[in-house]
Structure 1
């Protein structure tokens, strides 16, 4: 049965796992790994994952370490912790499916780009929504000092245009953790040419979290011959829950079907 709409008892921040239904995907077992963003949770990816799951794709949305607890807990975690969890889930999906497509929002976008750079022969496709691998903010240069003086800044979660929608993220931004994220950016930017998988880049017209520094670096930096940009004119940063979410769902479903069409089916 397709996944149902969560009832009031569902923990929206919990990891999401949906089994493949190869009878809906031409006999092939296709998986999609989706990563939430910094200070967020699987709640921001759940509707997207459920849409793809209803089409027969296996879906995994892990809860990254330090998330779904407290921002203080997140402040004890680092990029290596988040990437290790993502690769653990990716390896599990690869072992049981014919192809795996990866996708991510914000920091999740950076994580899946890192994965695609490290595993160019294993990632079938990459989907990023407002990813972050750079910023024009000057105060970032002060983070090495500020993180020892101040534990957190105001929240970056909840940047959604659609009224009444919640991201279920933290109400503070832990500085030691976000500094770790930004420390991972230079190596990722240097390795973008190692990415050869097809890429679809979803970009909100009005994003109050991620500025315009990342897009040209990613689109111009990857070696992928198949790159598509999809504009999201009516959404803020958390576009997966915003007005343009249906566009993300439809375009990503078509993308997954296309880039996995040559995957070998289960014998």
Structure 2
């Protein structure tokens, strides 16, 4: 069974625009409920598909941070071309790293980060890729023998893009003090403890006058679809409503 790659989405809701960035090995579907919620509250939202995501792991490995950053720039420009003068960015995990990079390099109204790593080695990213690859092959309906064979082949492919990803995280972390836009930092208390440490690092390092940090007791990594989803959505909306538009 061939899986259809997920598509970007644009929800038109009002004169304020939000760029939504999904996590590593995931896709825009994880941001849809948040996007609909923001649309219902007069925000227009665009969520690009980061290059390679939603495809087999073998194809995802052909892409890296340079491609993903271009996707962000293209998404930002798409909103500009639609006439939006002010744009906020919300990012989950990898999307949150890219959201922080937008705050460092582009004109944005504010940034929300969820479950963002500020210290992640390529070896751990490889584990994530391998998990994703096996799950994808299972969804394709392949049998255990074929999956084992393909996983063995996958392990011999080059993983340079993951080293580049690790370097993206490090560079973004090293320039947090350059961020002056309002920042809202969120993490799940049921997630790996490193994400709480990263959240505190972001909160302490940015030089924004307007910044908040909040942990959610019932949330794991995928905060936009977890048990605290409604509270997360409400907090994001409250933060956006307080920005200068």
**What's the TM-score once normalised by structure 1's chain length?**
0.75
Aligned match for 2:69, one of 83, 97, 102: 83
1:157–1:257 distance in 2 versus 1, CA, 3 Å: farther
**What's the TM-score once normalised by structure 2's chain length?**
0.81
Aligned match for 2:55, one of 69, 75, 85: 69
Match of residue 98 from structure 1: 85
CA contact (8 A) 1:34 1:104 kept: yes
Write out per-residue CA displacement over residues 210-244 of structure 1, whole angstroms, 9 at most, x where no aligned residue: 54441232111111111111221001100110001
CA contact (8 A) 1:106 1:210 kept: no
Shift of 1:106: 0.3
Structure 2, unmatched stretches of 5+, are: 136-150
1:42–1:256 distance in 2 versus 1, CA, 3 Å: same
Write out per-residue CA displacement over residues 125-183 of structure 1, whole angstroms, 9 at most, x where no aligned residue: 10011112214xxxx3768xx97xx995324999xxxxxxxxxxxx9999443322111
CA contact (8 A) 1:102 1:126 kept: yes
| Residues 1-267 of structure 1 mapped to structure 2, 5 A cutoff | 13-21=6-14, 29-95=15-81, 96-119=83-106, 122-135=107-120, 140=121, 152-155=129-132, 175-208=159-192, 211-260=195-244, 263=245
Which stretches of structure 1, 4 residues or more, deviate above 6 A after TM superposition?
171-174
* Higher helix residue share: 2
Count of residues paired in the alignment: 222
Secondary structure of 2:175 counterpart: helix
Please give the alpha-carbon distance, in whole angstroms, between the structure 2 residues aligned to 1:60 and 1:141. 29
CA contact (8 A) 2:199 2:213 kept: no
Please give the alpha-carbon distance, in whole angstroms, between the structure 1 residues aligned to 2:217 and 2:116. 16
Please give the alpha-carbon distance, in whole angstroms, between the structure 1 residues aligned to 2:72 and 2:181. 18
CA contact (8 A) 1:209 1:237 kept: no
Please give the alpha-carbon distance, in whole angstroms, between the structure 2 residues aligned to 1:239 and 1:209. 15
